[in-house]
Amino acid sequence: MKKFKILLALITLFGLHGCLSSSNHYYVLSMVSQPSTVYKKSHLLIGVEKVTVPGYLYKRDIAVAQSSSQITLLGNALWGEDLDEGLTNRLIGFLQKKFNQPDVYAYPWGVKHQPSIKVSVHISRFIAQGDKVYLDATWSIEDMKSKRRKARLFNTTVATSSDVKSIVSAMDRAFSKFEEAVAMGIKAF
C-alpha cells in the first residue's frame, strides 16, 4: 500500500510538471490604441455593428498561413478573447477617443436614440504568412436617416517575424491602420 501511494504521488507530480511546462500564452488585440489626432464632430451618435471575421479567427489558437490554402494553428499561443467581440470593442473605444465623445455604441442596442450613422465591418483576411501580416476588410458607413451609404475596401500588410509576439504586434499595428481609415471615412462622410 505504501508503494502504491508513492507511485501515485510520483505520477501526480510528473503530471503537474507536464501541465506547468506546456503552459499556454494568451494574447489580445482589444487594447484601444491612442489616436494621434482627435476630430471634432458634434452631435454624432455612432453605432458599430459586430465585426465579422473569418472562421479561423473564431478558434482560440492563433492561426498562421503556410500557403494561400493552408493554415497552421499554434497550439500554445491562444487568443484570450473572441476576436469578433474584441475587435468590435476596440473599434468602439478608438472611435470614442478619436471623436472625443462617448456616444459610440455597439449596434443594435437598447437605448432610446438611434445612431446618426452605422458602421459595418467584415474582415476577410487577418493572418500572418511568411514575413507579413495581412489585413483585408470591407467596411461601410450608413446615414440612418437619409439611408445614404458609402462602402470601402481596406487592405494593408505589416512586416513581422515568425515569433508569436511579433505576429500579434504586427496584427495590432495593422488593425490600428484600419481604425484610422474608418475614423477618416466617418469624418469625411
CATH code of the region 25-188: 3.40.50.10610
Q: pLDDT (tens digit, 9 = 90+) per residue, 20-47?
A: 445 899 999 878 878 888 888 667 889 9
Residue 136 to residue 8: CA distance in whole angstroms = 53
* pTM given for the model: 0.84
Tell me: pLDDT of 113 over 90.
no
In this predicted structure, the answer to whether residue 76 has a pLDDT above a threshold of 70 is yes
> With 60 as the cut, is the pLDDT of residue 167 above it?
yes
Q: Is the pLDDT of residue 111 over 70?
A: no
- What does the pLDDT read at residue 17? 44
Would you say 139 and 185 are in contact if contact means Cβ atoms under 8 Å apart?
yes
End-to-end CA, the chain? 78
What is the model's pLDDT at position 155? 98
Residue pair 73/60 in contact (Cβ under 8 Å)? The answer is: no
Domain residue ranges of the chain, discontinuous segments joined by +: 25-188
